Amino acid sequence: MTTHMLEHLALTLVLAPALAAGAAARLRVPPLVALLQFAIVVAVLHVPLVWDAVHERPLLRVGADLLTLASATCFWWPALAVASPLGPIGRTAYLMVGMPLMSLPGVLLDFVDHPLYRGVSLGEQHRAGALMWGVGSAMSAAVLVVGVWASLVREERSVAGAGA
């Protein structure tokens, strides 16, 4: 399960933000829709019946990984893309709401007192949960800082260019 969490951290916090930042105007997702769809995908993929089914069937696992990447890319787009409808404050607020939504399943995995998934020990489940909410939150915060900083720099250049 720890390997699963590391894979999903890479998909959601490394690859998806990079894809979203480069998506420009090709991806137009309303921020509320992006936020809600990602929260639903993360929650549903961690429901024990779904998680067990996905991890017993290789094609479902590939599908779940692709769904996770697509969903995370849509989530990150309003926060990171140049063409986003959100300004620096909106991007910050969006991510401040989104970060706990990503961490909530990890907190549950880390603090529940019994194994939730077939073939996963309680210790392994706790390690995976700690990765998801601990490392995931730290990485999300780093992306938040970089994304908001880039937005502020773009706005500053825009104002400076308009005044010249």
Could you read off the pLDDT of 16-36 as tens digits, one per residue? 988 888 776 677 788 999 999
Tens of pLDDT, residues 80-107? 887 778 877 888 888 888 888 878 888 8
Within the chain, what is the greatest distance between any pair of CA atoms?
64
What is the percent of the chain where pLDDT is above 70?
96
Question: Which residues lie closer than 8 Å to 98 by C-beta, 6 or more apart?
Answer: 35, 38, 39, 75, 79, 140
pTM comes to 0.81
Average pLDDT over the chain reads 86
Please return the burial class of 95, using the count of CB atoms within 10 Å of its CB with bins 0-12, 13-18 and 19+.
buried
Instruction: With a cut of 70, list the residues of the chain below it in pLDDT.
Output: 24-25, 163-164
